[in-house]
Chains A and B, each alone.
Chain A
Amino acid sequence: MVSYPYFPGCALSTKAKALDICAREAMKSLGYDLKEIDDWTCCGAVFPLAEDEHIRLVSPARTIFKASKISDKLVTLCSACFNVLRRSQKVLKENLEKRQRVQNYMEEEAVENYPENLRVIHLIEILKDEIGFENLTQKIKKSLKGLKIAPFYDCLTFRPPKEMEFEDPENPRIYSNFVTALGGEAIDFSYRSECCGAHISVSNPEVSLECSMRILDSARRVGAEALLTSCPLCHYNLDARQKEMVEKRIDFKPMPVFYLTQLLGIALELPENLLGFEKNYVSPLPLLKERGLL
């Protein structure tokens, strides 16, 4: 069993539990122990874009220090945590002046050398680079054959590309390859990397509703039966808010939105109570039962 420090983040510990539980269980059955780091705090949720906001880097820096005591990798899953931690590590690694300022705000950690070698990774990178999608196909117990899944490439995992150094956001393939590895049919659609409206659901919910509706419409037009995401906020906008879409437009047909770990869990035949479907607003159960996947 390989063991990595794991940062679940606030959303995955509460409102997006489904994403977290299947992640731990599925990875366990693939030989990876995700060890939650002790006493973690919120990563800050937003990477500070203003050059003079140093204090917001303190929380990610603490997490990076903690993880570095256990391993040279830190595993994340929430798109926002991944974005904040990966970009923070890049800036703290490369910008010595900034690093010093941030360390000045810190206590016991500050005396130590900065853990430059720590890499913040997304769980999908373990599947792709360590296990390998081809091997994953060998390891799954049930193929998602015939399931037409449209992978949604959220903003925060892929952009800004120079800071995230993840995959080309203009032509991302990683989730399509993941779906294919599980035996499903990956559907590309034109709005696959458009923002769902993100946090403006707090201040301008009608605008983010439009953004999210465009994404779902675009996926449906090319034959998708369900969407895939790894971001709890996208999941809220694209799944929970379908309640309002149905009220707004009589021709709107609901579509289930899976977390990436839920699909992995189905393919690995995790028990249904670990898949967290009760947290999906649009239940995927009818679709899965129809295909004999549950």
Chain B
Amino acid sequence: MKIVLNREKLNSFYVQTIKDISLQKIMSCYQCGKCTAGCPVADFMDVVPNEMMRLVMLGEIEKLLSSKAIWLCTSCFQCGTRCPKGIEVHRVFEALRSIALREGKNYTDIEKLSEDVLDEIPQQGIIAGFRKFESLE
């Protein structure tokens, strides 16, 4: 993957927003990979947690906003619990999801959910699942 570095990208509105709403020191990540090692869904992600941290550092935010990984994250807080640098990686994931949702990029398509699932799954699951859907009306 070819990455071009430039000042605008490193200080973009996106990067600033991620820092503001996650409150994490992105630059202190030293790429040990511990977040990824503990992530229960890393096997299924197109961008794993430590790669995500690296791409945020490099200002490659568009790649992340269109990734599947930010939506696969279950918010289990394992990454943040284990990070030796004390970075709450789960908050960086949430910041990316929030940016996408605030731009109207929904992930959950409510109309496609099956009746069976809605009947059985406890409310907390439905509400958490629906937070990947932002009605802009």
CA distance A200 to B76 in the complex (A): 11
- Whether, in the assembled complex, B67 has its beta carbon less than 8 Å from a beta carbon of chain A, the answer is no
- Which of B5-13, B48-56, B58-66, B125-133 is the contact stretch? B125-133
B71 contacts across to A, CB distance below 8 A: 200, 203-204
Partner among B113, B127, B129 whose Cβ is within 8 Å of the Cβ of A200: B129
Partner among A160, A170, A200, A201 whose Cβ is within 8 Å of the Cβ of B41: A200
Name the CB-closest residue of A to B107: A203
CA distance A45 to B98 in the complex (A): 17
6 A-B contacts (beta carbon < 8 Å):
A53-B98, A155-B77, A198-B75, A201-B117, A205-B117, A235-B122
- Whether, in the assembled complex, B74 has its beta carbon less than 8 Å from a beta carbon of chain A, the answer is yes
- Whether, in the assembled complex, B134 has its beta carbon less than 8 Å from a beta carbon of chain A, the answer is no
- Whether, in the assembled complex, B27 has its beta carbon less than 8 Å from a beta carbon of chain A, the answer is no
- Whether, in the assembled complex, B135 has its beta carbon less than 8 Å from a beta carbon of chain A, the answer is no
Does B132 lie within 8 Å of A203, measured CB to CB?
Answer: yes
Q: Given A155-B78, A159-B81, A160-B80 in contact, is the A46-B88 Cβ separation under 8 Å?
A: no
Partner among A16, A46, A204 whose Cβ is within 8 Å of the Cβ of B127: A46
The list of the 5 closest CB pairs from A to B, nearest first, reads A202-B129, A199-B128, A195-B76, A159-B77, A49-B94
A127 contacts across to B, CB distance below 8 A: none
Does A160 lie within 8 Å of B77, measured CB to CB?
Answer: yes
B22 contacts across to A, CB distance below 8 A: 49-51
Q: Given A11-B122, A45-B128, A201-B125 in contact, is the A52-B74 Cβ separation under 8 Å?
A: no
B76 contacts across to A, CB distance below 8 A: 155, 159, 195, 198
- Whether, in the assembled complex, B30 has its beta carbon less than 8 Å from a beta carbon of chain A, the answer is no
Partner among B20, B44, B121 whose Cβ is within 8 Å of the Cβ of A202: B121
Does A201 lie within 8 Å of B121, measured CB to CB?
Answer: yes
Does A50 lie within 8 Å of B95, measured CB to CB?
Answer: yes
* A-B contact number at CB 8 A: 134
Nearest CB of A to B25, in Å: 14
- Whether, in the assembled complex, A233 has its beta carbon less than 8 Å from a beta carbon of chain B, the answer is yes
A51 contacts across to B, CB distance below 8 A: 20-23
Does B108 lie within 8 Å of A233, measured CB to CB?
Answer: no
Does A45 lie within 8 Å of B123, measured CB to CB?
Answer: yes
CA distance A233 to B120 in the complex (A): 10
Does B122 lie within 8 Å of A50, measured CB to CB?
Answer: no
A160 contacts across to B, CB distance below 8 A: 77, 80-81, 88, 90
CA distance A15 to B131 in the complex (A): 20
Partner among A49, A169, A198 whose Cβ is within 8 Å of the Cβ of B74: A198
A94 contacts across to B, CB distance below 8 A: none
Partner among B78, B91, B94, B129 whose Cβ is within 8 Å of the Cβ of A203: B129
- Whether, in the assembled complex, B40 has its beta carbon less than 8 Å from a beta carbon of chain A, the answer is yes
Does A202 lie within 8 Å of B117, measured CB to CB?
Answer: yes
Partner among B40, B98, B122 whose Cβ is within 8 Å of the Cβ of A233: B122
Name the CB-closest residue of A to B121: A236
- Whether, in the assembled complex, A14 has its beta carbon less than 8 Å from a beta carbon of chain B, the answer is yes
- Whether, in the assembled complex, A30 has its beta carbon less than 8 Å from a beta carbon of chain B, the answer is no
CA distance A195 to B38 in the complex (A): 10
CA distance A51 to B98 in the complex (A): 11
Nearest CB of B to A180, in Å: 26
Q: Given A51-B21, A197-B41, A207-B41 in contact, is the A45-B127 Cβ separation under 8 Å?
A: yes
A14 contacts across to B, CB distance below 8 A: 123
Does A49 lie within 8 Å of B108, measured CB to CB?
Answer: no
Interface residues of A in 186-214 (CB under 8 A from B): 194-195, 197-205, 207-208, 210-211
